[in-house]
Amino acid sequence: MARLIRNKQGIPSTLLTRFLNSPSSLLTLPYYSTSKRSLRTLAYEEIQANPNKPYTHTAFILHGLLGSARNWRSFSRTLVSSLSDSPSEWRMVLVDLRNHGNSAEMEGLDPPHDLVNAAKDLGNLINSKGWESPDVVIGHSMGGKVALQFAKSCGNRDYGENVKLPKQLWVLDSVPGEVTSDNSDGEVEKVLQTLQSLPSTVSSRKWLVNHMLDLGFSKSLSEWIGTNLKKAGGEETWAFNLEGAVQMFHSYRELSYWSLLEHPPKGLEISIVRAEKSDRWDADVITRLESLASPEGDGSAGKISVHVLPSSGHWVHVDNPKGLLEIMAPKLKSLMP
């Protein structure tokens, strides 16, 4: 059984590790999770299989638009479990990006709300905590582009000497270039416009889900939107800062990281995972990515690898968590302690 972990201020964590809705049967170890916050930095959760042992490696996990750290708890526990037979002791840091999750309530995360500042928040978190840089950064959807911006800025030493390039960067079903309206079915825009048209509080989660269904959105999407509510007196309000998230989405669409993929910094491997059934990829983008996939070189530059996750749509950690684990775990294990 998991036990309650207290943070440095002696305040009980609001998060106990639970084997809830696990997408895999690989969970065999006890897990410990705690939520921490610091002024002007991001909210985050930590997951380790053996919290009494000092960790040797760290992975940051970044969620997508309108998501939060909790979306990745189950997969992170499974990933930690799969790495437990390696000589390394892994720590997963699940981050709430600005305007999302518990970071939506943070002071000091000032505009502009773009991916450059979202990545800078990660550097500030590392510096404020006195942590070593993460060995691995994993980003899904919008979080994948935040991860690319983080690597770009680390390469430029924008965050100071203490924040160094990760060894591995994982970009999960996130198109690295500009996302134009021609390359989008407009669903995200429709969701954001719908949410902007609603009052800041609604009567109940059930009302919201039914309203989204009445507007023609799918049941799975409507129910997922419903999970982003939190209690506000006798009503429900958003668990994210909607206007800030909209600004981040615009930045996500506008920024391109092809130059980083074409010239990856020495010591960094960027792994792109494309979901087989995802509708976000054009044929020319796929061809361009595959042309960049690099064999083992002489070590003078970084590497690009491209993977296809079978039987999965955009929600890779839900649609095929086992397949995603099989792609990622061996590479993480290859990092020496």
Alpha-carbon distances, residue 129 vs 37, 41, 202, 263, 323 (angstroms)? 10, 9, 37, 31, 34
Q: What pLDDT, on the 0 to 100 scale, is given for residue 5?
A: 29
On whether the CB atoms of residues 93 and 41 are closer than 8 A, the answer is no
pLDDT tens digits, 204-254: 999 999 999 999 999 988 998 998 899 988 899 999 999 999 999 999 999
What phi, psi does 291 have (nearest 5°)? -70, -20
pLDDT reading at 297 higher than 70: no
User: Hey, which of 69-83, 179-193, 286-300 has the most confident mean pLDDT?
Assistant: 69-83
> What is the band of 16 on the pLDDT scale with cuts at 50, 70, 90?
very low
pLDDT tens digits, 97-148: 999 999 998 988 999 999 999 999 999 999 999 999 999 999 999 999 999 9
What whole-number distance in Å separates Cα of residue 181 and Cα of residue 72? 28
What whole-number distance in Å separates Cα of residue 91 and Cα of residue 108? 27
Helices 242-254, 115-129: inter-axial angle, 10-degree rounding: 110
Sheet containing 229-232, strands listed edge to edge, beginning at the edge strand earlier in sequence: 201-202, 235-238, 229-232
Q: What pLDDT, on the 0 to 100 scale, is given for residue 20?
A: 28
pLDDT reading at 295 higher than 80: no
Q: What pLDDT, on the 0 to 100 scale, is given for residue 39?
A: 42
Mapping DSSP onto H, E and C, the string for the chain reads CCCCCECCCCCECCCCCCCCCCCCCCCCCCCEEEEECCCCCCCEEEEECCCCCCCCEEEEEECCCCCCHHHHHHHHHHHHHHCCCCCCCEEEEEECCCCCHHHHHCCCCCCCCCHHHHHHHHHHHHHHHCCCCCCEEEEECHHHHHHHHHHHHHHCCCCCCCCCCCCEEEEECCCCCCCCHHHCCCHHHHHHHHHHHCCCEECCHHHHHHHHHHCCCCHHHHHHHHCCEEEECCEEEECCCHHHHHHHHHHHHHCCCHHHHHCCCCCCEEEEEEECCCCCCCHHHHHHHHHHCCCCCCCCCCEEEEEEECCCCCCHHHHCHHHHHHHHHHHHHCCCC
Alpha-carbon distances, residue 280 vs 21, 74, 184, 232, 274 (angstroms)? 27, 25, 7, 35, 9
Fold of 44-179+244-334: Rossmann fold (3.40.50)
pLDDT reading at 316 higher than 70: yes
pLDDT tens digits, 19-62: 223 333 333 344 555 544 444 689 999 999 988 899 999 999 99
pLDDT tens digits, 169-201: 999 999 999 998 665 667 889 999 999 999 999
Q: Which pTM value belongs to this model? A: 0.87
pLDDT reading at 75 higher than 60: yes
Task: Give the chain's length.
Answer: 337
Burial of 185 (C-beta count, 10 Å sphere; 0-12/13-18/19+) = exposed
Q: What pLDDT, on the 0 to 100 scale, is given for residue 337?
A: 72
Q: Which sequence spans correspond to the domains of the chain? A: 44-179+244-334, 187-240
What whole-number distance in Å separates Cα of residue 242 and Cα of residue 220? 20
Burial of 280 (C-beta count, 10 Å sphere; 0-12/13-18/19+) = middle
What whole-number distance in Å separates Cα of residue 121 and Cα of residue 136? 16
